[in-house]
Homo-oligomer: A and B are copies of this chain.
Amino acid sequence: MMNSDNNGRFKRFLAAIIGFGAISVFAQDGGISAGDTAWILVATALVLFMNIPGLALFYGGLVRKKNVLSVLMQCFVLTAVMTVLWTVVGYSLAFSGTGMSEGEVNLRSFVGGLDLMMLKGVTPDTPADNIPKLLHFVFQMTFFIITPALMVGAFVDRIKFSAVLWFTILWNLLVYAPVCHMVWGGAGGYFADMGVQDFAGGIVVHITAGVGALVACIVLGPRNGYPKKPMPPHNLPMTVMGAAMLWVGWFGFNGGSQLAADGGAASAIVVTQISAATATLAWMFIEWAKFGKPSMLGAATGSIAGLAAITPASGTVGPIGALVIGAMSGTICWWASTVLKQKLKYDDSLDVFGVHGVGGFIGTVMLAFLMSEELGGVGYGEGVTVRSQFGVQLFAAVATAVYTAIVSFIILKIVCAVVGLRVSEAEENEGLDLAYHGEEAYND
């Protein structure tokens, strides 16, 4: 995903330097392209669709019957809250380019200004290169919604609803917005100026969400009875449905991040599809080999791992790179979500860290190798080597993880002090649906 301000420039740069010429015919003339606009309108709908119903169902099916509504509610209400927050101030913090200048590190390298609050000055005919600025705004909004929603999986079954709201609001302002700005905020952004490659959000979305989730589940503590008490998914078909919707919606997430309807968008969905498929198969074969039975939950989880991992790389690698990233993420995320988690004994209930955190990390660093032209990638920029690119990727990934961990921890402590984080034991036994929302999911 590219910032609206340097999108055109970046494309021309790519076209010039690395022969990546499949740019839609109207992107260059400065006007708004109906074709590009059509695609990003749809991509926006697809990413919203990933969150509700996609992610909500994926997570909802995995919890116990008594907590399913609480999970759906969190995904649903985060959609609403983050929409308002993005409109009021989030977009400005993430994408205002005022005060930035390429190569110079100042406050605006880390976070945007406030001049775009409430979309000041933006009308339907304000362009962001080839598409309307309002479309850039709403497409990016869907990322601002889904990133905190991903974290929901780590604290299901035991967190107060009000704590979810406070935590995610503060987190989106203090973690998501600045990281997004550093990577996608345009020339002058801290990571952008280093030449970091994060096409659709390996760092911005998956590493931040994965690390935030890990910290949250550690601070919250494990569910009552975990890991002794069995807590099987109450409705796996619901989870599979959600996974499938995430998969389909990811075409909008990655393909839309090209911000144009061209060969780059097509390439993004091709590698997305290949990585998802390969990771699905990797996870499946591991289970088949190890337990004798490949599970549906495993295959579905594998697909999400492959999708998360290809996200940062979907603009830079080709089919071979996608096969490698898919296979690696299917394998390593499996290991992280099962072996590692059990060893370290944290209760990341729905494996947000193991799947998104680890997957996002894999894609972010591996793309340094796989973007090479010999492997079908777009190749390196002028003066960039695989080594230097790798260094930048690693630095940005690790720095983001550390920053996210620290800030998440502080926010959680504050929220804990103010409204409390964890439900009472009686409420946990009763289930959050009744205790916090006064409803039951299924009635006769």
Interface assignment of A148: CB less than 8 Å from any CB of chain B? no
Residues of B within 8 A of A5 (CB): none
A202-210, A247-255, A407-415: which lies at the interface: A247-255
> Could you list 13 examples of A-B contacts with CB < 8 Å?
A20-B123, A44-B269, A52-B248, A64-B444, A69-B296, A77-B299, A83-B276, A84-B278, A125-B263, A132-B267, A134-B266, A138-B269, A234-B443
Is the C-beta of A402 less than 8 angstroms from some C-beta in chain B?
no
Contact A34 B261 (CB under 8 A): yes
Asked if A293 is at the interface (CB within 8 A of a chain B CB), the reply is yes
Verify B234–A444 contact, CB threshold 8 A. yes
* A166 CB to nearest chain B CB (Å): 14
A68 touches B237 (CB 8 A): yes
Interface residues of A (CB under 8 A from B): 19-27, 31-39, 41-42, 44-46, 48-49, 52-53, 56-57, 60, 64-65, 68-69, 72-73, 76-77, 79-81, 83-84, 87, 118-119, 123-127, 131-132, 134-135, 137-138, 141, 161, 232-238, 240-241, 243-245, 247-248, 251-252, 255, 260-267, 269-270, 273-274, 276-278, 280-281, 284, 291-297, 299-300, 303, 318-320, 323, 376, 433, 436-444
Whether A274 contacts B87 by the Cβ 8 Å rule is yes
Contact call A241/B39, Cβ cutoff below 8 A:
no
Q: How far is the CB of A123 from chain B (nearest CB, A)?
A: 7
Complex Cα spacing A244 to B47, Å: 12
Q: How far is the CA of A427 from the CA of B19 in the complex (A)?
A: 56
B residues near A27, Cβ cutoff 8 Å: 34
Cα–Cα, bound, A263→B73 (Å): 32
**DSSP majority for the A interface?**
helix
Q: Which of A41, A438, A442 has the most CB of B within 10 A?
A: A41
Q: Could you tell me the distance between the alpha carbons of A356 and B418 in the complex, rounded to whole angstroms?
A: 39
Residue of B nearest to A287 (CB): B438
Give the complex CA separation of A45 and B246 in angstroms. 11
Cβ-neighbour of A38 out of B132, B261, B269, B291 (below 8 A) = B261
Closest Cβ–Cβ distance, residue A155 to chain B (whole Å) = 17
Residues of B within 8 A of A125 (CB): 19-23, 263
In the complex the two chains form, is A81's CB within 8 Å of B277's CB?
A: yes
The answer to whether A439 and B265 touch across the interface, beta carbons within 8 angstroms, is no
* B80 contacts A303, C-beta separation under 8 Å: yes
7 nearest A-B pairs in the assembled complex, by CB-CB distance = A34-B35, A22-B125, A124-B263, A24-B34, A83-B277, A52-B244, A35-B35
A22 touches B261 (CB 8 A): no
B247 and A73 form a contact (CB under 8 A): no
Which residue of the partner chain B has the closest CB to A444? B65
Question: Would you call A36 and B34 a contact (CB within 8 A)?
Answer: yes
CA gap between A191 and B437 in the complex, in Å: 44
- Which B residues are in CB contact (< 8 Å) with A119? 318-319, 376
A252: contacting residue among B31, B45, B131, B284, CB under 8 A: B45
Min CB distance A294 to B, Å, is 7
A364 vs B171: C-alpha distance when bound (angstroms): 37
Report the bound CA distance from A241 to B57 in whole Å: 8
Q: Which residues of B contact A442 (CB under 8 A)?
A: 234-237
* A60 CB → nearest B CB, Å: 6
Neighbouring B residues of A72 by C-beta, 8 Å: 236-237, 240, 296
Give the residue of B57, B235, B266, B281 whose beta carbon is less than 8 angstroms from that of A135.
B266
Report Cα–Cα, A32/B27, bound state, in Å: 12
Kindly identify which residue among B37, B49, B443 contacts A261, using a CB–CB cutoff of 8 Å: B37
Chain B: minimal CB distance from A33 (Å): 5
Complex Cα–Cα for A376 and B320 (A): 47
Tell whether, in the assembled complex, residue B48 and residue A281 are in contact, meaning their CB atoms are under 8 Å apart.
no
Contact A124–B266 (Cβ < 8 Å): yes
With a CB–CB cut-off of 8 A, which chain B residues contact A293? Answer: 436-438
Rounded to whole angstroms, the CA-CA distance of A222 and B422 in the bound complex is 43
List 6 additional contacts besides A38-B42, A83-B277, A138-B269; criterion CB under 8 Å.
A20-B125, A22-B132, A35-B37, A72-B236, A236-B442, A292-B438
